[in-house]
Chains A and B, each alone.
Chain A
Amino acid sequence: MVATIRLSVPGTLRYRPIAVRAVAEAARLVSGSTPRDAKNPSIDPLAHDIRHPFDTAVVSAFMEIFNNIAIHAYQRKGDGSIEIEITPTKDAIVIEVKDDGRPFDLDNVVDLPAELDEESLPEGGMGIHIAKTMLDEMTYEPGPPNMWRLSKRLSAPQVAVGRS
């Protein structure tokens, strides 16, 4: 059975932690990771504990896409919602993120410098690069609605180990 989790949040950064938390927990369903201090009641329940490489990739990519939508699509005004559909399976996750804001020009994103040194350290434009590199596949279709589709498979060693 394939179960899909649907979440709709207002398109502002205020609701980002809720969306990130949902994605993190869905990633854990695939990776089998457990929070470090799951049994420690004194731990801040809002703290994010992302260690498994699969969780890391999925959460890192999603955070950047959420930022992108709130800032670029909705121009920090939040006059619209972000529709999130998360489909975790045994060995993969697919996340579709839709918004009704301004379309994003993905082709206009510049690559990071090939050689990175103190001088060329970037102070911006890293988000899409992070998302793309962390995922197996990332597609974007301008809308309305605009739709990001993020896919990540649990790689063989991660499946074999089950958890880190």
Chain B
Amino acid sequence: MPEPFDVQRTSDETKVAIRGSLDINSAPDLSDAIDKIVATRPPKVAVDLSSLDLIDSSGVAALVKLYKGVRANGGAITISGARDQPLAIFKLLRMDKVFNL
């Protein structure tokens, strides 16, 4: 199985694409990557969820950690492309408004 996420850094933006299932089994790996991303104090992070099929509360927690970590350093973060089951979860948790989905 390929890693369920992909991080690309350019000079002005960090792109994080997450695919497949972000759950209790895959979220710890993403969480480690998030620590590294946040440590670089990125000014702009774009999270692409268009290839994300499934998420659970552990996956949501990892995304919240990324969101808060980037914002705490004064960075900007956008989360886009959520669909189907993940979008339903964000709506249920009323995070769709905070994340501007």
A interface residues (Cβ-Cβ under 8 A, vs B): 13, 16-17, 44, 46-51, 53, 55-57, 59-60, 63-64, 67, 70-71, 112, 116-118, 121-124, 126-127, 129-130, 133-134
Contacts and interface: CB of A to CB of B under 8 A. Distances in A.
B24 A126 contact: no
B36 interface: no
B59 to A, nearest CB: 10
Contacts of A130: 56-57, 89, 92-93
B57 A116 contact: no
Contact of B85 (A16, A59, A117, A124): A59
A103 B66 CA distance: 32
Given A48-B21, A123-B64, 16 more contacts: A13-B24, A17-B25, A46-B1, A48-B20, A49-B53, A55-B85, A60-B89, A64-B57, A67-B23, A67-B56, A116-B95, A118-B67, A123-B61, A124-B61, A129-B93, A133-B92
Contact of B56 (A53, A60, A121, A122): A60
Contacts of A117: 98
A127 B57 contact: yes
**Interface bracket on B:** 20 to 34
A116 B56 contact: no
